[in-house]
Amino acid sequence: MQQDISHLPGSNPQKQLGDILKFIRTWDEIYAVSFFQFRKERAEIAESTFQKVGFDDSTMLSNLDSYATSTDDCYFMISDDDDWYNPVVGDAVRSCETDVVSWDDATIQPPVVLSLRSSRNGRTLWTNSWAIRKSAYLRVPTKDRHKLKYHTTASSLLLPKGGHHPFSQQFLPNVRYSVACKSVSSHCKYFACLSKPKSEVKGQLKSWRKEFHKGGVKIQNLHSVEWAEEEIERYVNLCERLFSLPQRWTAFVKPK
């Protein structure tokens, strides 16, 4: 899978790719679970929530334009491998009629800290806390549709601005319909340290491990996302393996 790295700091794609490879190699030196194995298992947790929702269909974001011209009316929910969904989100969105639907969500920050996040009654669109109707998606200028991948640019495209209301909005209150699981492989500090010297990358990775062993699992307000209890347990177990300390062996030699 090719990754779009054009949004990362700097303007040299070759250097950006080199920084990413350096980070991955350093990760594999420090942690007990390889970078790609960790991403694979984290993605499997997200996919398990997709299956519970029972989405009507799915497609890659790169195919969405052609898909949107051929499918019946529906809502699109743009997500990736760190997004978890409440099993009832599909039914909640299906009952709506507006262009854009949004809700409050929760987030997991590294090492494993669960916190609740507010969209301010739909005035902010977080990563996976919104859906857009197909007819509204087709009204977004083609040149701007790629911006829907990022919550900051999605908000600027879809939300009212300066008295202008290009898309009708509906906010779903009281229920957390999604969780954004921002792990050490997708947190903003991950991007921030990519271009740093290897010693600083090592320091950041070790600090996350140290924080985890000092009590980095803080799962409060679980009642707000009880539907994700199984996924949280799986993710905590994955992080326990990731941050496990290297085994140290002691050899004994008996004196004569």
> Tens digits of per-residue pLDDT, 99-124?
999 999 999 988 889 999 998 888 88
Comparison of pLDDT for 10 and 68, the residue scoring more: 68
Comparison of pLDDT for 63 and 14, the residue scoring more: 63
Q: Note the pLDDT of residue 152.
A: 80
- What mean pLDDT is reported for the chain? 87
Distance between CA 214 and CA 203 in Å, rounded? 16
Q: Note the pLDDT of residue 251.
A: 63
pLDDT(231) > 80: yes
Distance between CA 203 and CA 198 in Å, rounded? 9
Distance between CA 12 and CA 5 in Å, rounded? 10
What are the residues facing 218 on neighbouring strands? 113
* 121-125, 181-185, 236-240, 244-248: the lowest-pLDDT one: 244-248
pLDDT(189) > 70: no
Q: What is the pLDDT of residues 80-95, one digit of tens each?
A: 889 999 999 999 999 9
> Which pair of structure tokens corresponds to residue 81?
């491998």
Q: What is the pLDDT of residues 195-210, one digit of tens each?
A: 788 898 899 889 989 9
Question: 201 near 22, Cβ under 8 Å?
Answer: yes
pLDDT(8) > 60: no
Q: Tell me the CA distances in angstroms from 243 to 82, 207, 240, one per residue in order.
A: 19, 10, 5
Comparison of pLDDT for 156 and 190, the residue scoring more: 156
pLDDT(1) > 70: no
Residue 106: phi, psi to the nearest 5? -130, 160
Q: Note the pLDDT of residue 111.
A: 85
pLDDT(183) > 80: yes
Q: Which of 222, 130, 235, 233 is nearest to 182 (CA)?
A: 235
Instruction: Return left, alpha or beta for 217; rule: phi > 0 is left, psi -120 to 50 is alpha, else beta.
Output: beta
Q: What is the DSSP letter of 120?
A: T
Average pLDDT over residues 180-193: 75
